[in-house]
Amino acid sequence: MTDAPSTGPDDAQEPPEAPEAPLLELRDGLTPVIETAEALAEYCAALATADGPVAIDAERASGYRYSNRAYLIQLRREGAGTALVDPIAFASLAPLQEAIGDAEWILHAATQDLPCLAEVGLHPAKLFDTELAGRLLGHPRVGLASLVERQLGRRMRKEHSAVDWSRRPLPEPWLVYAALDVEVLVELRALLVAELEEQGKTEWARQEFEHLLSFTPTVRVDPWRRVSGTHKLRGRRALAAVRALWTTRDEVARTRDTTPSRVLPDSAIIAAAEALPTTRAALLATPGFKGRGADRYATRWVEAIQEALDLDESALPARTLRGDGPPPVRAWADKDPAAARRHTVGRDAVVALAEERSVPVENLLTPDYLRRLLWSPPRTRDRAELVEAVGAQLASYGARPWQVELTAPLLADAVIAGDVEPVPEPQPEPSPGDEA
Give 321-324 contacts, CB < 8 A, sequence gap 24+: 321/221, 321/222, 321/225
Mean pLDDT of 165-176: 96
Roughly how many angstroms between the first and final C-alpha of the chain, as a whole number? 73
Residue 268 located in a structural domain: yes
Do both 85 and 119 map to the same domain?
A: yes
Residue 432's pLDDT band, with cuts at 50, 70 and 90, is low
Residue 160's pLDDT band, with cuts at 50, 70 and 90, is confident
Do both 136 and 75 map to the same domain?
A: yes
Residue 15's pLDDT band, with cuts at 50, 70 and 90, is low
The string of pLDDT tens digits covering residues 24-74 is 999 999 999 999 999 999 999 999 999 999 999 999 999 999 999 999 999
Confidence (pLDDT) at 434: 58
Please say whether the beta carbons of 61 and 90 come within 8 A: no
Residue 42 located in a structural domain: yes
Do both 63 and 200 map to the same domain?
A: yes
Do both 254 and 380 map to the same domain?
A: no
Residue 7's pLDDT band, with cuts at 50, 70 and 90, is very low
Residue 161 located in a structural domain: yes
Residue 90's pLDDT band, with cuts at 50, 70 and 90, is very high
Q: Which range marks the domain in which residue 359 is found? A: 329-419
Higher pLDDT, 227 or 5: 227
Residue 9 located in a structural domain: no
Mean pLDDT of 325-338: 94
Quick one: how far is CA 110 from the chain centroid?
10
Do both 158 and 267 map to the same domain?
A: no
Residue 156 located in a structural domain: yes
Do both 199 and 166 map to the same domain?
A: yes
Q: How many distinct structural domains can be found in the chain?
A: 3
Do both 357 and 414 map to the same domain?
A: yes
Residue 264's pLDDT band, with cuts at 50, 70 and 90, is very high
Do both 348 and 392 map to the same domain?
A: yes
Distance CA 386, CA 379 (A): 8
Residue 181's pLDDT band, with cuts at 50, 70 and 90, is very high
Confidence (pLDDT) at 422: 74
CATH code of residue 354: 1.10.150.80
CATH code of residue 135: 3.30.420.10
Residue 292's pLDDT band, with cuts at 50, 70 and 90, is very high
DSSP type of residue 34: B
Distance CA 205, CA 2 (A): 67
Residue 435 located in a structural domain: no
The answer to whether residue 124 scores a pLDDT higher than 60 is: yes
Please say whether the beta carbons of 386 and 378 come within 8 A: yes
The answer to whether residue 397 scores a pLDDT higher than 50 is: yes
The answer to whether residue 152 scores a pLDDT higher than 80 is: yes
The string of pLDDT tens digits covering residues 22-36 is 999 999 999 999 999
Confidence (pLDDT) at 218: 87
Q: How far is CA 264 from CA 191, 229, 240, 287, 300, in A?
A: 46, 14, 17, 14, 12
Please identify, among 156, 180, 213, the residue that sits at the C-terminal boundary of a domain: 213
- What predicted TM-score, i.e. pTM, was given to this entire model? 0.89
Do both 228 and 198 map to the same domain?
A: no
Do both 286 and 398 map to the same domain?
A: no
Do both 296 and 384 map to the same domain?
A: no
Average per-residue pLDDT for the chain: 93
Distance CA 17, CA 15 (A): 6
Confidence (pLDDT) at 320: 84
The bridge status of strand 72-77 relative to strand 81-85 is antiparallel
The answer to whether residue 408 scores a pLDDT higher than 90 is: yes
Q: How many CB atoms lie within 10 A of CB 419?
A: 11
Do both 161 and 258 map to the same domain?
A: no
The answer to whether residue 413 scores a pLDDT higher than 60 is: yes
Residue 318 located in a structural domain: no
Residue 203 located in a structural domain: yes
Distance CA 301, CA 283 (A): 8
Please identify, among 152, 186, 213, the residue that sits at the C-terminal boundary of a domain: 213
Q: Is the dihedral of CA 306, 307, 310, 312 positive or negative?
A: negative
